[in-house]
């Protein structure tokens, strides 16, 4: 069967069958136009039903279908993906079509999905479908339904909230007619229309059905489903966060979003922050009749002019992360715990005016005891110390409990301490409050030198691997972790100081005077450019967008250091990298430390279970082609556990791309960092710095063990991973 002979989709096949039946009926009986129209209507109805089935997430995974509608701009890379479901057994390759043109073909492997990347076609609304082919290249079947690829052509884009026409209330024909009239008027006024929905569930199929039944203009449907992002709502309204994320992502792709059509006119924090007009259909209709959309047209044109004059990386980071590129800095990355400890205490000793510190966690140990003493000594020498901790994870001001380590600091006249988000009573104990924490780790010395870090106040973060004796029964918590910080000098330090000051004041700290001593004008100290990316939990998704932007500009290779389950949006970005042949090396660790043979050191049960869950989440990436390495530090005479090597935990959060751009800080690549907690990372856009970091990472990787899904080591824990991945409460990591 040739492509031309193959039916385009199941709905078309149904219509052909109906037409054949009608022809046979004509031969035997006299059938009027009314009978044929009934058959045609039945065919259309059944075809529409199959389209809805193809858009239902559960049925799509069972029966197969194209994954989602896409909105982009001309020339942008577009990911097309489809679930195969039971259809996977019908062919050996999947052929993607845009309109009637075959644009890509990908082999059907063991996975349940197929993906490809194409360059976006010209402006317009295009149909995307998938057909399955045999090993001879012959089409043997088509997946149910199709999706839309909408390519914006430079006109202003309006996002139409699905809540406007979903029938949660009794059907109102007048309201439906009014909405349809407003949408057609906006089209005539020069807008492009796109439908979007933010909800706990994926309501794509329902939205598609209502657009057809209410005869609304065609357009892509963009769904932001909290459930599919592994984000449990826990009673929190995510509409503003997802709305901001949607607008920023689209603008980063060159889609000039200027307007949101909603239930009413709004002047909200989203409209102000993102510079969009939020208006009701009646307002849109009135403005269209008055010819009042010149401002939106100019805004769209200016956005495209700005994009054309910017680099791909700068444009994406500028649009999506609330950050700005600052030149004239010097940066130093440190992955050696002993060196990090020495650098930090040397910085304290050199401080003349102020030491500002923010930690997520502070726990007893040799490092923390010395930290307290050093800070008290500097305070008594006249240095003003401000010390900020997350209340929950530092056990300070939680249900009346006080951390004795912090109390020693509070007793000093020249030291101020605040606990962020204290929990004063059991009434405040809920899952949302427990998850919405401040995960940042910052140290600023004299407002001229800053450390942005993944390291907390504890021995495992600041002890070298050759400093700690390890035998077969050493407990997991006594074994050091791999971590990282970036030290900054130059004008970017001012932004680190400002984010500390804002957090300090927001949580009730004493006044930090905005004078030249605290916020000096800093001269250049080097030739490197960088930016501070701050994510404020549940307000936006700056950290997630930072990693997405870095992945999307990669051409050759990506290094990732991370030991948490990767959030679905970043998983999809990684699959896009693999689809275009980018090499990915991921350095991870063992949440419960292992001996050389892979057996566990004594560890709390939750650490072992977490290890199984993280590795289970990594397995699809491993099979897709990501090179995953389990970190092994260099040999040490102090390690006498069997085999002479250990596989510790990896706590560093580091991404480096193409020896051009590197991110180091507190943000993991998981859902907690992406949505819930507040984070801070430095993105260094300097080739010399990136080359140095990548050389260090490659040296660590060369001494580590590559995970092999066919190895006995990997297979022997398959059952444990499967059980834990199924039963693990996702709210604990999402």
Evaluate whether 319 touches 244 at the Cβ level (below 8 Å): no
Evaluate whether 603 touches 475 at the Cβ level (below 8 Å): yes
Exposure of 641 in the CB half-sphere (CA atoms within 13 A):
27
Q: Which two tokens stand for residue 701?
A: 């990787």
Lowest-confidence range among 109-123, 314-328, 599-613?
109-123
Mean pLDDT for all residues in the chain: 90
Q: Which two tokens stand for residue 235?
A: 């009673």
Residue 511's pLDDT is 93
Evaluate whether 485 touches 454 at the Cβ level (below 8 Å): yes
Minimal CA–CA distance to 163: which of 219, 60, 239, 255? 239
Q: Provide the pLDDT confidence category of residue 519 given band limits of 50, 70 and 90.
A: confident
How far is 411 from 417, CA to CA, in rounded Å?
10
pLDDT at residue 236 tops 80: no
pTM above 0.85, yes or no: yes
Strand partners, 147: 128
**Largest alpha-carbon pair distance within the chain?**
106
- CA 538 vs CA 9, 231, 676: distances in Å: 41, 11, 6
Q: Provide the pLDDT confidence category of residue 34 given band limits of 50, 70 and 90.
A: low
pLDDT at residue 33 tops 90: no
Q: Which two tokens stand for residue 205?
A: 């199929």
Residue 201's pLDDT is 87
Domains and CATH numbers, the chain: 10-57 (no CATH), 157-309 (3.40.50), 337-463+491-524 (3.30.870.10)
User: Average pLDDT, stretch 621-635?
Assistant: 96
Residue 469's pLDDT is 98
Q: At what angle do helices 568-579 and 605-624 cross, to 10 degrees?
A: 30
Q: Provide the pLDDT confidence category of residue 113 given band limits of 50, 70 and 90.
A: confident
Minimal CA–CA distance to 565: which of 614, 620, 624, 630? 614
Per-residue pLDDT tens over the stretch 334-346: 999 999 999 999 9
Query: Which residue did the predictor score with more confidence, 16 or 84?
Result: 84
How far is 522 from 491, CA to CA, in rounded Å?
5
Residue 394's pLDDT is 95
How far is 49 from 241, CA to CA, in rounded Å?
33
DSSP 8-state class, residue 314: H
User: Average pLDDT, stretch 161-182?
Assistant: 79
Q: How would you write 234-275 as a 3-class SS string?
A: CCCCCHHHHHHHHHHHHHHCCCCEEEEECCCCECCHHHHHHC
pLDDT at residue 198 tops 60: yes
Strand partners, 627: 585
Q: At what angle do helices 542-553 and 312-320 cross, to 10 degrees?
A: 170
Per-residue pLDDT tens over the stretch 528-558: 999 999 999 989 999 999 999 999 999 999 9
How far is 462 from 388, CA to CA, in rounded Å?
19
Q: How would you write 664-697 as a 3-class SS string?
A: EECCCCCHHHHHHCEEEEEEEECHHHHHHHHHHH
Q: At what angle do helices 542-553 and 239-252 cross, to 10 degrees?
A: 20
Q: What kind and span of H or E run contains 594?
A: strand 594-595
Instruction: Kindly give, in sequence order, each residue whose CB lies less than 8 Å from that of residue 23, ignoring residues fewer than 6 positions away.
Output: none
H helix intervals, 333-414:
337-350, 366-380, 391-394, 404-410
How far is 79 from 425, CA to CA, in rounded Å?
48
Distance linking the first and last C-alpha atoms of the chain: 47
How far is 494 from 592, CA to CA, in rounded Å?
38
Query: Look-up: residue for tokens 């020896």?
Result: 659
pLDDT at residue 69 tops 90: yes
User: What phi and psi values does residue 523 have, to the nearest 5 degrees?
Assistant: -80, 165
Residue 7's pLDDT is 40
How far is 186 from 192, CA to CA, in rounded Å?
8
Look at strands 113-119 and 627-630 and give their pairing: unpaired
Q: Return the exposure string of 338-350: e unless at least 16 CB atoms fall within 10 Å of the residue's CB, then b.
A: eebbebbeebbee
H helix intervals, 518-664:
542-553, 568-579, 605-624
User: Average pLDDT, stretch 142-154?
Assistant: 92
Q: Which two tokens stand for residue 233?
A: 């709502």
User: What phi and psi values does residue 27 have, to the nearest 5 degrees?
Assistant: -70, -30
Evaluate whether 112 touches 61 at the Cβ level (below 8 Å): yes
pLDDT at residue 436 tops 60: yes
């Amino acid at each position: 069967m040739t492509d031309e002979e193959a039916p385009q989709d199941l709905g078309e096949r149904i219509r052909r069958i109906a037409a054949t039946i009608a022809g046979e009926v004509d031969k035997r009986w006299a059938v009027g136009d009314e009978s044929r129209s009934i058959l045609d209507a039945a065919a259309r109805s059944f075809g529409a039903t199959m389209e809805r089935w193809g858009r239902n997430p559960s049925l799509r995974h069972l029966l197969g279908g194209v994954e989602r509608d896409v909105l982009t701009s001309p020339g942008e890379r577009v990911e097309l993906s489809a679930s195969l479901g039971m259809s996977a057994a019908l062919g050996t390759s999947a052929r993607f079509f845009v309109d009637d043109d075959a644009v890509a073909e990908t082999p059907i492997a063991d996975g349940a999905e197929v993906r490809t990347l194409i360059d976006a076609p010209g402006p317009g609304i295009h149909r995307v479908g998938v057909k399955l082919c045999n090993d001879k290249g012959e089409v043997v079947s088509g997946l149910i339904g199709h999706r839309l690829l909408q390519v914006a052509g430079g006109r202003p884009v309006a996002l139409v909230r699905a809540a406007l026409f979903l029938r949660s209330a009794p059907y109102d024909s007048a309201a439906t007619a009014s909405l349809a009239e407003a949408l057609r008027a906006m089209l005539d006024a020069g807008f492009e229309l796109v439908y979007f929905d933010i909800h706990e569930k994926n309501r794509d199929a329902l939205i598609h059905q209502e657009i057809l039944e209410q005869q609304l203009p065609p357009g892509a449907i963009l769904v932001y489903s909290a459930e599919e992002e592994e984000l449990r709502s826990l009673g929190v309204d995510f509409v503003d966060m997802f709305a901001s994320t949607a607008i920023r992502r689209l603008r980063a792709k060159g889609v000039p979003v200027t307007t949101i059509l909603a239930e009413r006119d709004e002047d909200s924090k989203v409209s102000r922050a993102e510079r969009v007009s939020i208006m009701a259909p009646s307002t849109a209709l009135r403005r269209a009749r008055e010819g009042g959309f010149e401002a939106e047209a100019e805004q769209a044109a200016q956005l495209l002019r700005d994009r054309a004059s910017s680099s791909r990386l700068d444009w994406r980071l500028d649009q999506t992360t609330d950050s700005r590129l600052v030149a004239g800095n010097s940066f130093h990355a440190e992955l050696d715990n002993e060196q990090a400890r020495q650098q930090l205490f040397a910085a304290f000793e050199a401080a003349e005016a102020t030491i500002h510190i923010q930690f997520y966690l502070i726990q007893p140990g040799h490092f923390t005891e010395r930290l307290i003493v050093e800070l008290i000594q500097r305070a008594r020498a006249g240095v003003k110390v401000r010390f900020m901790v997350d209340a929950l994870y530092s056990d300070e001001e939680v249900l009346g409990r006080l951390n004795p380590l912090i109390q020693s600091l509070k007793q000093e006249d020249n030291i101020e301490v605040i606990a962020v988000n204290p929990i004063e009573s059991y009434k405040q104990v809920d899952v949302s409050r427990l998850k919405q924490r401040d995960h940042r780790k910052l140290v600023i010395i004299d407002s001229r030198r800053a450390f942005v870090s993944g390291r907390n106040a504890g021995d495992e973060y600041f002890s070298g691997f050759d400093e700690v004796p390890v035998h077969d029964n050493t407990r997991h918590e006594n074994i050091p972790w791999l971590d990282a910080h970036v030290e900054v000098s130059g004008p970017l330090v001012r932004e680190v100081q400002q984010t500390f000051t804002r957090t300090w004041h927001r949580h009730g700290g004493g006044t930090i005077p905005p004078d030249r001593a605290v916020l000096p004008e800093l001269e250049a100290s080097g030739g490197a450019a960088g930016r501070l990316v701050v994510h404020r939990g549940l307000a936006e998704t700056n950290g997630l967008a930072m990693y997405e932007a870095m992945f999307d500009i990669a051409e050759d290779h990506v290094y990732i250091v991370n030991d948490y389950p990767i959030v679905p949006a970043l998983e999809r970005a990684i699959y896009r990298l693999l689809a275009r042949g980018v090499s990915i090396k991921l350095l991870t660790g063992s949440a419960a430390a292992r001996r050389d043979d892979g057996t566990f050191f004594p560890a709390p049960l939750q650490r072992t279970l977490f290890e199984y869950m993280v590795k289970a989440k990594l397995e699809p990436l491993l099979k897709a082609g990501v090179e995953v390495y389990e970190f092994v530090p260099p040999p040490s005479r102090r390690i006498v556990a069997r085999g002479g090597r250990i596989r510790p935990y990896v706590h560093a959060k580091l991404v480096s791309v193409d020896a051009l751009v590197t991110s180091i800080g507190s943000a993991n690549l998981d859902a907690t960092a992406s949505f819930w907690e507040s984070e801070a990372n430095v993105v260094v856009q300097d080739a010399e710095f990136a080359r140095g970091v990548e050389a260090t990472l490659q040296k660590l990787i060369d001494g580590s063990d590559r995970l092999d899904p066919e190895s006995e080591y990997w297979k022997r824990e398959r059952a444990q991973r499967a059980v834990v991945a199924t039963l693990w409460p996702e709210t604990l990591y999402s």
